[in-house]
Amino acid sequence: MIRVGNWMQTFTGRRFYPLDPRPEDVCVEDIAHALSLVCRFGGHVRFHYSVAQHSLYVSNHVDDHGAGGQDVLIALLHDAAEAYIGDVVWPLKQATEMLGYRVVEERVERAVFERFGLPLPLPAVVKHADLVLLATEKRDVVNGSAASVGRETAAAQSRLGPWYCDSVQPLPDALSAWSPREAERIFLARFEELSRS
């Protein structure tokens, strides 16, 4: 069958077509490896802080607040599309000119979630945890401020509705640097644990 667009070779040697993503082409080892090397905030951070580490914190936060195992797994994989299409900084991703990118991102996200038998859209608890981590990352990872968190929370509120942004406070404990290898290992272990439950 003819596929749309060109393919990229993944870490495990698979062919992945970003413009024609299929669930059978998705592999958790590729996701964990790539996300451990993709740096949040376009690399404008105090230390390497990967999308894999961010995803683990979001998953843990959802788990700590009593969500079911499926929502905790969804939280772990909420940014998995970025393993295949990269992370684009938020102001650019929201631009009108990036509509095509957002369409591609949605297709890849659907393929990932279908591969693991997970529903879309993301649950409210995951979106809220993502904002909690954003506030924490602004405090600990980038040279952010309460004002910058407030601006981004207000922008998110206009898109997501008020519930997601209520009581968005940073986590009490500071985030620390993990190596890419450590983030990849922990991500895979967490995935295995959640897949068994």
Kindly indicate whether the domain formed by 20-196 is annotated with CATH number 1.10.3210.10. yes
- For the cut 50, the answer to whether the pLDDT of residue 48 exceeds it is yes
Domain residue limits, the chain: 20-196
DSSP 99-167: HHHHHHHHHHHHHHHHHTT--SS--HHHHHHHHHHHHHHHHHTSS--HHHHHHHHHHHHHHH-HHHHTT
pLDDT band at 157 (very low <50, low <70, confident <90, very high): low
- For the cut 90, the answer to whether the pLDDT of residue 177 exceeds it is yes
- The pLDDT tens digits of the residues spanning 73-82 come to 999 999 999 9
Q: Return the pLDDT at 163.
A: 44
Across the range 154-165, mean pLDDT stands at 54
- The pLDDT tens digits of the residues spanning 104-127 come to 999 999 999 999 999 999 999 999
Six-digit token pair at 29?
């080892």
